[in-house]
Chain A
Amino acid sequence: QKEVEQDPGPLSVPEGAIVSLNCTYSNSAFQYFMWYRQYSRKGPELLMYTYSSGNKEDGRFTAQVDKSSKYISLFIRDSQPSDSATYLCACLPGTASKLTFGTGTRLQVTL
């Protein structure tokens, strides 16, 4: 079993839709949770960084962590074609710098 599971998609939504992206994890040592966006043939770009359980909002993006169920989510409001990319969740224990990534969900926002 992978430490971080993520549905690879692809996920196709119309412009303006609310997008929900999710990951589950199995390692209880994970304390920090990140979402990265990766455009085709580019490096990952950090979108959201959260610690422990709770919500964090930044513009159209909301990250949610539920440590009791080991479930992390990213919501994108008013999705745009420029949001079309692969979204990677990543987890970090509090005592090491080794990020563990999900496989990524490919998102396509259509006009």
Chain B
Amino acid sequence: NAGVMQNPRHLVRRRGQEARLRCSPMKGHSHVYWYRQLPEEGLKFMVYLQKENIIDESGMPKERFSAEFPKEGPSILRIQQVVRGDSAAYFCASSPGYVTDTQYFGPGTRLTVL
């Protein structure tokens, strides 16, 4: 049973480019969460999605960041016009459904902005 899958594992972008991060949840999981981990900091919640719905985006920066979880395919976290401060590890987690279900994390995507 495959776990949460994220790709790419490493992504390098120049300032002003777009970064697109993908997350495939565990089989049978319909809830996806994105977290960001800056150097020397804990994980910070960004957004919580169910299929075709954004449930909670209270942790998302107001500009340049967007997320989706389409009916078919992986969840996508998109960062437009990246800046150096966006360099971080981005983790996706998934859960079966209920609010307090365990969240299982993927290996993360490490974004470096040059």
- Using A44-B91, A46-B102 as known contacts, say yes or no to A88 and B42 having CB atoms under 8 A apart: yes
Q: Cβ of B42 and Cβ of A97 under 8 Å apart?
A: no
Nearest CB on A from B38, distance (A): 10
Q: Cβ of B99 and Cβ of A88 under 8 Å apart?
A: no
B58 lies within 8 A of chain A by Cβ:
yes
Nearest CB on A from B23, distance (A): 11
Q: Cβ of B59 and Cβ of A88 under 8 Å apart?
A: no
Q: How far is the CA of A45 from the CA of B103 in the complex (A)?
A: 9
Provide the residues of chain A in CB contact with B106, threshold 8 Å. Answer: 43
Provide the residues of chain B in CB contact with A94, threshold 8 Å. Answer: 99-100
- Report the contact-size class of chain B (Cβ under 8 Å from the partner): 20 to 34
Q: How far is the CA of A97 from the CA of B33 in the complex (A)?
A: 9
- A: number of interface residues (CB 8 Å): 28
**Candidates A8, A36, A99, A102; contact of B45 at CB < 8 Å:** A99
A61 lies within 8 A of chain B by Cβ:
no
Nearest CB on A from B70, distance (A): 20
Provide the residues of chain B in CB contact with A6, threshold 8 Å. Answer: 42
Q: Cβ of B58 and Cβ of A43 under 8 Å apart?
A: no
Q: Cβ of A98 and Cβ of B42 under 8 Å apart?
A: no
Provide the residues of chain B in CB contact with A34, threshold 8 Å. Answer: 102
Provide the residues of chain B in CB contact with A100, threshold 8 Å. Answer: 45
Interface on B for A, CB 8 Å cutoff? 4, 31, 33, 35, 40-45, 48, 55-56, 58-59, 91, 93, 95, 99-100, 102-108, 110
Interface on A for B, CB 8 Å cutoff? 4, 6, 8, 31-32, 34, 36, 41-46, 49, 88, 90, 92, 94-104
Q: Could you write out 9 A-B pairs with CB less than 8 Å apart?
A: A42-B107, A44-B105, A46-B103, A88-B42, A92-B100, A97-B31, A99-B35, A99-B103, A102-B42
